[in-house]
Amino acid sequence: MAESPPPTSSGPEGGPGAPAPEPTAPAAPAEPVPTPAAPVPQPVTPVARAQGVSGGRLAPPPRSSNTGLVLGLGIGLFVLVMIVVAAIVAAILYTSGAQIANVFSNVAAALGSPSP
């Protein structure tokens, strides 16, 4: 391949046929711009973990001394409510048991008989 001649300009500096001026590099900034450094992960100490910091996520709060008491009271209250509900259901069945038995007998008799 043949080499191409350098570009020419027809400006007032060199006239027609004069070589084009060399491009100049942009001026360097007066002070270098600092680049932000990547944050260095810090190890999680036991004190920081107790305060709720663990690798960017919140740790569960420390257990208090009365957690077992609160849990036991909650379970006890649930059991008490279940006993009261069972007593109420038993009382209703005792007082209206004969009527309920009569309803079921009528339904069973209707299902066992031939339809007209």
Q: Given the structure tokens 């007066």, which residue do they identify?
A: 30
pLDDT tens by residue, 75-100: 999 999 999 999 999 999 999 989 98
Locate the domains of the chain by residue range: 78-110
Mean pLDDT of the chain: 75
pLDDT tens by residue, 45-78: 666 555 555 555 676 666 667 888 889 999 999 9
Give the mean pLDDT of 92-115.
86
Residue 9 has a CB neighbour count (10 Å cut-off) of 14
Q: What is the pLDDT of residue 75?
A: 96
Does the structure show a pLDDT above 60 at 32? yes
Residue 113 has a CB neighbour count (10 Å cut-off) of 8
Q: How many residues does the chain have?
A: 116
